[in-house]
Amino acid sequence: MAKVPAVGDGTGASAPAEAAPAESTVDIAPAEAAPAETSPAPAPAPAPAPAAPADAAPAAEPPAERRPPVALYLHVPFCVSVCPYCDFVVYAGSAARGPRSLVEPFLDAVLAELELRADGLDMAFGAPATSARPALASLYLGGGTPSLLGAGAVERLLERVVARFGLAPHAEVTIEANPGPDERGDLAGFRAAGVTRVSFGAQSFADAELRRLGRRHAPDDVADAVAAARRAGITSLNLDLLYDLPGQDQERWGASLDAALALAPDHLSLYALTLDDPEAEGLAGPLGDHLATRPGARRWRERARADQDEDRAAAAYELATERLAAAGWRGYELSNWARAGHESRHNLAYWERRPYEALGPGAHAFDGRTRRWNAARLDAYLAALRPRSGPPHLPPGGAETPDPAQAEVESIVLGLRLDRGVPAALGERPRFAAAIGWAMANGLLERLAAGESDRLRLSVRGRLLSNELFARLV
């Protein structure tokens, strides 16, 4: 049976988002991070920067030194309700709205973490926006549903990011939003605060599928949300879609693709529905980056998993690949397609193995040498950063430092996720020779056309079987 690229998990935190940083380099496709590019001052949105050149892929010898971040992910862990398939760090109900809401305490806490992380960077690299520590190229507000924040809160966050990290003049600044009228937020206010890009969690354009997924919006809400974002001056829009849904057939999946294209977004993130078990994987402990799965969600996943089919998922991926190519879209990454100039610069930082900082519960960061994460528990996060006595301190979490061999594996796996692939010389190293030879013999890899640099990339067949190749490379 064919395997298809899996839905992202990792993060900057957890959410069905375009932009969460990957925790795994083998079978996890980062969510579009978000869906990152502007100054937070009210101004016309700058034109998206061109895509990175073909020779910007991961270096053959990943540097081991610590480097300043080029991107910042900020996880907002609140939703009106929690979808049963979602593994992201999310708190809903009274924690998200009403008199007992934890949104304001969280904002105070995340601003405290921002200051502490920035202090550490000041000590290591000096002041921001200098040659030793360039201003950020992207900022991603993911979740959760960060659009539940008011425009004033977003402006407050961006002001501190600019002051403590710097933000390049044409930086990409993304916010994730749900399409429903009570969840998409103040799009004009977000734009005035400095947001340049919005990622809507559409997931499907079929009423029955949305209801089964536990989504609160209707298909028409997606069109309304896109129109509202365009009126607000947002010039770069992403839509997330899910396939291999329980009961989904090719006709319904094709109809969702067509409906999405009809709205003329600039970017599409297409993910196969992946139903994991964070507890079984040891990710939900006190220092883990996931929350325990609720009993109702666990039962839902067991039923849904029985109604999934790998061959059907592969056919859905092939259909999307063909339809989007015919419409002129570039599949620049396994799960992401874009119009020219609208590739997610924030997510490219993950795939290019560039350093990024991260804030919020469950958020993941990478400094070029060490991967760090915050624990998912909001109570522990708030206790550390809003203590009853004494100064705030960094929240609990964990870290790991890949050895040179592991770093090399990360480079080739992440690089092969991109349509520009990796330098052929990297694939010719002895430790990868058997896997690369197998992939070439079975049509999973191809060399780029004559006239381009000598590089290897996944073929269409290779995209479908990428997990099998990645497993052999590890």
Residue range 7-17, pLDDT digits in tens: 332 333 333 34
Q: What is the mean pLDDT of residues 417-431?
A: 93
- Residue 453's pLDDT band, with cuts at 50, 70 and 90, is confident
To which H or E segment does residue 83 belong?
Answer: none
Asked whether the beta carbons of 325 and 42 are under 8 A apart, the reply is no
For residue 280, what pLDDT is reported? 87
User: For 439-445, which contacts have Cβ atoms below 8 Å and span 24 or more sequence positions?
Assistant: 439/469, 439/472, 444/468, 444/469, 445/469
Asked whether the beta carbons of 234 and 35 are under 8 A apart, the reply is no
Of residues 46 and 332, more confidently modeled: 332
Tell me the CA distances in angstroms from 54 to 106, 368, 425, 450, 456, one per residue in order.
40, 21, 15, 14, 12
Closest CA to 360 of 21, 8, 7, 6: 21
Domains of the chain: 54-351 (3.80.30.20), 421-474 (no CATH)
Task: Examine the pLDDT at 300 and tell me if it is beyond 80.
Answer: yes
Tell me the CA distances in angstroms from 410 to 4, 157, 273, 300, 352, one per residue in order.
19, 32, 24, 33, 10
For residue 47, what pLDDT is reported? 36
The number of beta carbons lying within 10 Å of the beta carbon of residue 195 is 33
Q: What are phi and psi of 313, to 5 degrees?
A: -65, -40
Tell me the pLDDT of the chain averaged across its residues.
88
In whole angstroms, how large is the CA radius of gyration of the chain? Answer: 21
Q: What is the mean pLDDT of residues 284-302?
A: 94
For residue 427, what pLDDT is reported? 87
Percent of the chain scoring above 70 in pLDDT:
86
For residue 12, what pLDDT is reported? 36
* List of residues 6+ apart from 379 with CB closer than 8 A: none
The number of angstroms, rounded, from the C-alpha of 166 to the middle of its chain's C-alpha atoms is 21
Q: What is the mean pLDDT of residues 457-462?
A: 95
Task: Examine the pLDDT at 60 and tell me if it is beyond 90.
Answer: no
To which H or E segment does residue 230 belong?
Answer: helix 219-231
For residue 451, what pLDDT is reported? 60
Region of 343 please: left (phi>0), alpha (psi -120 to 50) or beta. Answer: beta
- Residue 5's pLDDT band, with cuts at 50, 70 and 90, is very low
How far apart CA 342 and CA 171 sit, in angstroms, is 13
Residue range 346-358, pLDDT digits in tens: 999 999 999 999 9
Q: What are phi and psi of 236, to 5 degrees?
A: -135, 120
Which of helix, strand or coil describes residue 212?
Answer: helix
Rounded to the nearest 10 degrees, the angle between the axes of helix 466-473 and helix 430-441 is 160
- Residue 64's pLDDT band, with cuts at 50, 70 and 90, is low
Determine which of 12-21, 217-226, 340-349, 422-431 has the lowest per-residue pLDDT on average: 12-21
- Residue 452's pLDDT band, with cuts at 50, 70 and 90, is low
Q: What is the mean pLDDT of residues 99-121?
A: 97
For residue 3, what pLDDT is reported? 40
* Residue whose pair of structure tokens reads 């040498």 in the numeric block: 369
The number of beta carbons lying within 10 Å of the beta carbon of residue 122 is 13
What are the tokens at 161?
A: 């990011």
Question: To 5 degrees, how large is the angle CA 471–CA 363–CA 184?
Answer: 110
Counting DSSP H helices and E strands in the chain, the numbers are 15, 15
- Residue 74's pLDDT band, with cuts at 50, 70 and 90, is very high
Residue range 217-236, pLDDT digits in tens: 999 999 999 999 999 999 99
How far apart CA 17 and CA 148 sit, in angstroms, is 15
Strand-pairing partners, residue 198, are 175, 237
* List of residues 6+ apart from 38 with CB closer than 8 A: 45, 46, 167, 169, 170, 171, 172, 173, 194, 195, 196
How far apart CA 40 and CA 446 sit, in angstroms, is 43
Which of helix, strand or coil describes residue 219?
Answer: helix
To which H or E segment does residue 278 belong?
Answer: none
